[in-house]
């Protein structure tokens, strides 16, 4: 177990390293960094001074080595707009993103899995058709469009919830529902297909023949054996929720990491973009590690190594 965890942590560090490398070179390929954020009326002399001060006049290999050396120490530079460390700006927004993503994941699990179980246990019935329709709609409707529709209905027309911002519980309801819609549909579809497969196995018929109640057979046997696929999907869905938060936070003006990253890109504040990329990659890697470690709890036959 210890060796497995260390191996996965090493893999996570490689992922973060590759993400940093990709962002570093993509930003350089977009043009001269100084010209991208300096005012248009900046003189040539001032541009050269900025390049020298920020190290952009050095060879690309030297810039890359310097950047990586600083990144290892948690130094991604200073924000060109706020004049303070970039990592500090991103960490300030991290709790808001974790709050939104965490609630969206809870909604997805608590709605999607029961919906999939209902569909599988009532295969071919009206409940099955309704559940499948909900799952299809959840995957077909774009998140930003769904967010606008919910905002128009519950905030503008009914005036039940606020349109944007972060404050009380009422502020997070619409963003969390919007962000969770796709994940809920995916959980429902996967749960349905997995449960149908498990319920058709011989050991399930044996369990029923022993006189076990339907509830015991369903929850203690069927769902536990189907949970491996759900755990795998959860690790991937956390990454998708992080990705989706970038768009949803913009729609609802939610002050999280996604919104600050988009603003940094528009403002050409590359230090903040770098810091955000590292945190996104670290969160995704950690989520997948936790999902892998959960395999052993869900199915003792799974050996980590």
* Model pLDDT, residue 38: 63
Q: Of residues 3 and 193, which shows the higher confidence score?
A: 193
* Model pLDDT, residue 304: 52
Report residue 33 CA to chain centroid gap: 29
| Token pair 């959960």 in the structure block, residue | 294
* Model pLDDT, residue 138: 84
User: Do residues 268 and 180 lie in contact, with contact meaning Cβ atoms separated by under 8 Å?
Assistant: no
C-alpha span between 10 and 51 (Å, rounded): 35
CATH superfamily of 87-298: MetI-like (1.10.3720.10)
User: pLDDT of 275-286, one tens digit each?
Assistant: 888 888 888 888
Report residue 172 CA to chain centroid gap: 17
* Model pLDDT, residue 107: 92
Q: Looking at the predicted structure, is the pLDDT value of residue 149 above 80?
A: yes
Contacts of 216-221 with C-beta under 8 Å, sequence gap 24+, read: 218/117, 218/121
User: Do residues 191 and 115 lie in contact, with contact meaning Cβ atoms separated by under 8 Å?
Assistant: yes
User: pLDDT of 244-283, one tens digit each?
Assistant: 888 888 888 888 888 888 888 777 777 888 888 888 888 8
Judged by average pLDDT, the poorest of 18-27, 55-64, 182-191, 243-252 is 55-64
Distance linking the first and last C-alpha atoms of the chain: 7
**Angle between helix 86-121 and helix 169-199 axes, rounded to 10 deg:** 40
What is the domain partition of the chain in residue ranges? 2-72, 87-298
Find all residues with CB under 8 Å of 54, minimum gap 6, and list them.
Answer: 33, 34
User: pLDDT of 82-134, one tens digit each?
Assistant: 878 888 888 888 888 888 888 999 999 899 888 888 888 888 788 888 888 88
Torsion of CA 215, 219, 220, 221, to 10 degrees: 100
User: pLDDT of 53-66, one tens digit each?
Assistant: 666 777 778 878 88
User: Do residues 166 and 252 lie in contact, with contact meaning Cβ atoms separated by under 8 Å?
Assistant: no
Cα angle 186-203-191, degrees, rounded to a multiple of 5 = 5
User: pLDDT of 206-240, one tens digit each?
Assistant: 766 766 666 667 766 677 777 777 877 887 788 77
C-alpha span between 243 and 6 (Å, rounded): 26
Confidence tier at 296 by pLDDT (50, 70, 90):
low
Tokens of 154: 């519950």
Find all residues with CB under 8 Å of 272, minimum gap 6, and list them.
Answer: 76, 79, 86, 89, 90, 260, 261, 264
- The percent of residues in the chain predicted with pLDDT above 70, rounded, is 80
């Amino acid at each position: 177990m210890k060796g497995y965890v260390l191996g996965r942590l090493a893999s996570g560090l490689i992922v973060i390293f590759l993400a940093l490398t990709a962002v570093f070179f993509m930003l350089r390929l977009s043009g001269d960094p100084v010209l991208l954020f300096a005012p248009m009326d900046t003189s040539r002399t001032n541009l050269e001074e900025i390049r020298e001060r920020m190290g952009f006049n050095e060879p690309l290999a030297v810039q890359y080595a310097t950047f990586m050396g600083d990144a290892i120490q948690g130094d991604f530079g200073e924000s060109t707009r706020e004049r303070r460390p970039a990592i500090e700006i991103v960490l300030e927004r991290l709790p808001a993103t974790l709050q939104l993503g965490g609630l969206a994941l809870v909604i997805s699990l608590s709605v999607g899995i029961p919906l999939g179980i209902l569909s599988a246990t009532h295969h071919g019935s009206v409940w099955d058709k309704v559940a499948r329709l909900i799952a299809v709609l959840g995957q077909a409707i774009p998140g930003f469009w769904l967010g606008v529709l919910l905002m128009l209905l519950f905030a503008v027309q009914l005036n039940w919830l606020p349109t944007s911002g972060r404050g009380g519980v009422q502020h997070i309801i619409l963003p969390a529902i919007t962000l969770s819609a796709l994940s809920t549909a995916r959980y429902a579809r996967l749960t349905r297909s997995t449960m149908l497969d498990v319920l058709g196995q011989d050991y399930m018929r044996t369990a029923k023949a022993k006189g076990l109640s339907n509830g015991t057979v369903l929850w203690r046997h069927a769902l536990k054996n189907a949970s491996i696929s759900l755990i795998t999907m959860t690790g991937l869905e956390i990454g998708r929720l992080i990705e989706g938060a970038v768009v949803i936070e913009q729609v609802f003006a939610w002050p999280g990491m996604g919104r600050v990253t988009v603003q940094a890109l528009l403002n050409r504040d590359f230090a903040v973009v770098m810091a955000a990329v590292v945190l996104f990659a670290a969160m995704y890697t950690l989520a997948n590690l936790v999902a892998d470690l959960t395999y052993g709890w869900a199915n003792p036959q799974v050996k980590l190594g």
